[in-house]
Amino acid sequence: MGRVLAQIEGRAAQVRAEAEAEARAFIASVAGGGDYQPLSHRMMAVRSRLQQLESMIIDTWHAKVDEAFAAEGGDRTAGYAKARR
């Protein structure tokens, strides 16, 4: 479980970092005046990507992790809460 979640967490961090860098560059380019709507559209796309990663966590949990977690006597509720974070 830890490895899969670490990969997803790493990808989410990468998406956020890329979005931040892109947003900062865009803001600098329109700071003197300009159309800010493309930034709004880009942020919607980033939100969508992060929601897809969240769905991957949920799908992975239900497909693979929940049963293994329960078989090892783990607290399924606490494990799922950690995965969601």
Domain locations in the chain as residue ranges = 2-84
pTM: 0.62
If DSSP codes are grouped into helix, strand and coil, which group holds residue 59?
A: helix
Using 50, 70 and 90 to split pLDDT, how confident is the model at 1?
low
Task: Give the pLDDT confidence score for residue 44 in this predicted structure.
Answer: 92
Provide CB contacts within 8 A for 82, sequence distance 6+: 5
Question: 């865009």: which residue's tokens?
Answer: 26
- 11-67 pLDDT per residue, tens: 889 999 999 999 999 988 888 888 888 888 988 999 998 898 888 878 877 777 777
